[in-house]
Amino acid sequence: MSLDFDVFVVDPKPIPSAVPGFEEAVGAATWPQTTSTLIMDDDGALLVDCLITEQEGRELATWVKSHDCEPGYVYITHPHADHFLGLTEILAVFPQARPVALAGSIPAMQEQTSPAYMQVWGGFFPGQLTANPVSPEPLAGATIPIGGSTGTVIPVGTTDTGHSSVVHVPGLSLVVSGDAVYNQTHMWLAGSTTDSRASWARALEAVAALEADTLIAGHRNPLAADDDAHRQIEESRRYLADFETALEHSSTPPDLIARMTATYPDLANPYTLWVAAYDLLGSRT
């Protein structure tokens, strides 16, 4: 087997709605479809990100095993728990795998696994999360082994959270982007600022400069046509610019939601947009 990759996908999950009127207007609130990527060669494998619930972690471990390879490393792209609480289940099945992340992201990952944050995440997924969350260790250097091959870790700064990174595998013309790029899914902009959104736009330029053909986004529209890197980066870039303009012209959450929904009627997970709108423009109506 030469260098290859495969993607594990979990479907959108229902969550309790925390914004007024969403369920009446749109339907059940959801967490978007989320991916985990296995990259492998003859000598071993690298798993990038590993989902959030215990059940997902177990299913992911079984799926990895079905590829008949052992991950030497598990890389976590950014410090959001929906991409790494499943690590506990992965390490239970692959205890030799080394979980690693950018050194700068580790404190934020440890914060995500603190009792206070676990309570927040538990509110989204009650009774479904591990009682023993694990944080990765700092990755030394900028490369990561994929069996006998290597990938490059590219820090991209603040995207939907600080200390984000992507994994570039030139041998496959592949980028695994975590949440630096979204695939036809509303982007997480709750808690964002003008500066953080500008940083995210710069991160997209850095990903574009890699000139990869294929990009696996952490969150994907189940109806997305493909994993074309150029399309996803351009669409994410345009979404950020359109959001900035819509925000400037909106004074209430419904204004912002209406503008963005008119421009993006078919993006997955509109709940993400509603959360951002109520976070950034308060509950004024």
Residue closer to Zn ion by CB (options 197, 259) is 197
Nearest distance from residue 43's CB to Zn ion, in Å? 30
Q: Rounded to whole angstroms, how far apart are CA atoms 153 and 158? A: 15
The nearest distance, CB 81 to Zn ion, in angstroms, is 9
For Zn ion, give the closer residue by CB, 41 or 82. 82
As measured in angstroms, the least distance from the Cβ of 167 to Zn ion is: 15
DSSP state string for the chain: --SEEEEEEE--EE----STTHHHHT-S-EEPPEEEEEEEETTEEEEE---SSHHHHHHHHHHHHTTT--EEEEE--SS-GGGTTTHHHHHHH-TT-EEEE-GGGHHHHHHHTSHHHHHHHHHHSTT-S-SS--PPEEPPSSEEEETTEEEEEEEEE-SSSSSEEEEEEGGGTEEEEETSS-BSB----TT--HHHHHHHHHHHHHHHTT--SEEEESBB-TT----BHHHHHHHHHHHHHHHHHHHHT-SSHHHHHHHHHHH-TT-B-HHHHHHHHHHHHTT--
Which lies closer to Zn ion via its Cβ, residue 80 or residue 259?
Answer: 80
Give the residue among 146, 197, 192 at the shortest CA–CA distance from 167.
146
With respect to Zn ion, which residue has the nearer C-beta, 40 or 207? 207
Complex with Zn ion: residue 78 or 259, whichever CB lies closer? 78
CA dihedral over 135, 18, 163, 175, signed as positive or negative: positive
Tokens for 53, please give them: 């619930």
- Please compute, for residue 90, the number of CA atoms within 13 A of its CA located in the half-sphere on the CB side: 34
Q: In the complex, what is the shortest distance from the CB of residue 30 to Zn ion, in angstroms, rounded to a whole number?
A: 13
**Of 218 and 253, which CB lies nearer to Zn ion in the complex structure?**
218
Nearest CB to Zn ion, comparing residues 56 and 179 = 179
Nearest distance from C-beta of residue 244 to Zn ion, angstroms:
21
* For Zn ion, the closer CB: 183 or 261: 183
Residues within the interface to Zn ion (CB under 5 A): 80, 82, 179, 218
**CB of 100: closest distance to Zn ion in angstroms?**
19
Q: How far is the CB of 218 from Zn ion (least distance, A)?
A: 5
Q: What minimum distance in Å lies between the beta carbon of 193 and Zn ion?
A: 19
